[in-house]
Chains A and B, each alone.
Chain A
Amino acid sequence: VQSAFARCVRYCLAGALGVGLAVVGGDAAHAEPRVSTFKLPNGMDVIVVPDHRVPVVTHMVWYRAGAGEDPWGTSGIAHFLEHLMFKSTSKLKSGEFSRTITRLGGRDNAQTTHDTTAYFQRVAKENLRTVMALEADRMVGLKLIEEEVRTERDVILEERRSSVDVIPLSILNEQMLAALYQNHPYGRPALGWAPEMAKLTRADAGTFYRRYYAPNNAVLVVAGDVTVEEVRPLALATYGRNKAVPALQARSRPQEPPSVAERRVQLQDARAGANVLLRYYHAPSYASAKAGDPERVELLAYIVGGDDTSRMYARLVTGGIASTAGTDYTANTLDSGRLSFVIIPVDGVTLAKAESELDAILAEVRETGVTQEELERAKLVLEARRVFESDNQMTLARRYGEGVALGRSVADLDAQPARIQAVTVEDVQRVAREHLKKQSSVTGTVTPPPANTTAPKSSAEVAKP
Chain B
Amino acid sequence: VTFVDTRSVRATSALRWAYVAAGLALIGLMSETPRAQALTVQEITTQRGIKAWLVEEHSVPLISIRFAFAGGAAQDEAGKEGQSSTIADLLLEGAGELSAATLKERLSRLGVRISTSSTRDAIYGGLETLTTRFEPSADLLRQILMAPRFDADAVERVRSQRLTDLALAANDPRRLAADRWYAEAFKGHPYSRPVDGTQESLARLTAADLKAQHSRLFARDGLKIVIVGDITKAAAGAAIDSIFGGLPENAQATRIERVEPRRLSSPVVVEKDQPLAAATFGLPSLPSSHADFPALQVLNHIIGSGDFDSRLMAEVRVKRGLAYSIQTGLLDDSIASLLLGGFSTKNETMGAALATVRDVLETTARNGPTMAEFENAKRYLLGSLLLDFDTNARVAASFLQAWIRGDGPNYLLDRNRRIAAVTLDDVKRVASTVLVVDNLAVTVAGKPKLAP
Contacts and interface: CB of A to CB of B under 8 A. Distances in A.
Interface of A: 1-3, 5-6, 10, 12-13, 15-17, 19-24, 27, 30-31, 53-56, 58, 79, 82-83, 86, 94-95, 98-99, 102-107, 109-114, 122-124, 126-127, 150-155, 158-159, 161-167, 169, 190-191, 270-274, 307-309, 314, 317-318, 320, 323-324, 344, 346-347, 377, 380-381, 384, 387-388, 391-395, 457-458, 460-465
Residue of B13, B112, B153 with highest tally of chain A CB at under 10 A: B13
Interface stretch (B48-56, B72-80, B217-225, B316-324): B316-324
A393 B379 contact: no
Contacts of B309: 95, 98-99
A103 B62 contact: no
Given A109-B20, A154-B320, A463-B268, 18 more contacts: A10-B18, A12-B164, A56-B24, A98-B308, A102-B307, A105-B27, A105-B383, A107-B384, A109-B12, A122-B387, A124-B27, A162-B276, A163-B324, A191-B13, A271-B274, A307-B108, A317-B161, A388-B128
Contacts of B61: 27, 30
Contact of A54 (B35, B128, B156, B317): B35
B233 interface: no
A107 B14 contact: no
B346 interface: yes
Interface residues of B, number: 105
Interface in B348-392: 376, 379-380, 382-384, 386-387, 390-392
A86 B11 CA distance: 12
Contacts of B169: 13, 273
B46 interface: no
B339 interface: no
Given A15-B89, A162-B276, A392-B390, A273 B270 contact: no
Interface of B: 7-8, 10-18, 20-27, 33-35, 59-62, 89, 92, 100-101, 104-105, 107-115, 117, 128-130, 132-133, 153, 156-157, 160-174, 265-276, 278, 305, 307-309, 314, 317-324, 344-346, 376, 379-380, 382-384, 386-387, 390-392
Q: Which 3 A-B pairs have the closest CB atoms?
A: A105-B383, A154-B321, A21-B111
A106 B324 contact: no
Nearest to A150: B321
B7 A107 contact: yes
6 contacts: A6-B16, A53-B60, A111-B17, A151-B318, A155-B324, A309-B101
Contact of A95 (B25, B128, B308, B390): B308
B163 A461 contact: no
A270 to B, nearest CB: 7
Given A20-B108, A22-B109, A95-B309, A161 B276 contact: yes
B387 A158 contact: no
Contacts of A16: 115, 117
B62 A391 contact: yes
A103 B376 contact: yes
Given A271-B273, A273-B170, A104 B25 contact: yes
Contacts of A17: 92, 104, 107, 114-115
A319 B26 CA distance: 51
A104 B383 contact: yes
Residue of B16, B111, B114 with highest tally of chain A CB at under 10 A: B111
A346 B160 contact: yes
A19 B320 contact: no
A6 B15 contact: yes
A2 B14 contact: yes
Residue of B12, B107, B114, B169 with highest tally of chain A CB at under 10 A: B12
Contacts of A463: 268-269
A457 B273 contact: yes
B394 to A, nearest CB: 9
B35 A99 contact: no
A323 to B, nearest CB: 4
